[in-house]
Amino acid sequence: MNIANVCDRFLVLADIDADELSRWRGLIEDACLYVTSRCTKQNPSSADERRLEMLGAAYAFKLYAMCGSGQISEFTAGDVKLASSADKQVQAEKLWRELTDASPDLIDAGGFLFGRVI
């Protein structure tokens, strides 16, 4: 997995400037390690590598959103109400789920198994 490609995709997803990338580099590397550890193919093709890079960027975006990127989701003060158009955490989770659902041949997403106790 090419970390530079993952970083480029992460910048677009997180909508941050390249100047801020160094602050999030460790998180991106951790996301790449996680995705690589879940990969089910020994020797992925170049197309699969690009898919893994996108999964790495999406997982990094999910972690970034969980860190509370400083975005206001909703704030009310008297008659003034500020709200963001969409919650980054919800967007990040949705993107991660959609990409993992579309890649069962490439990654084991480690889904949750429902059961019962008798």
Q: Which domain holds residue 27?
A: 3-101
Is 24 contained in some domain? yes
Per-residue pLDDT, 48: 95
Per-residue pLDDT, 108: 86
pLDDT, mean of each 10-residue run, the chain (118 residues): 95 93 94 94 93 96 80 62 67 92 87 55
Is 77 contained in some domain? yes
Per-residue pLDDT, 67: 84
Per-residue pLDDT, 85: 44
Per-residue pLDDT, 89: 86
Per-residue pLDDT, 88: 83
Domain count, the chain: 1
- pTM, two decimals, is 0.78
Tell me the torsion sign for CA atoms 35, 40, 44, 50: negative
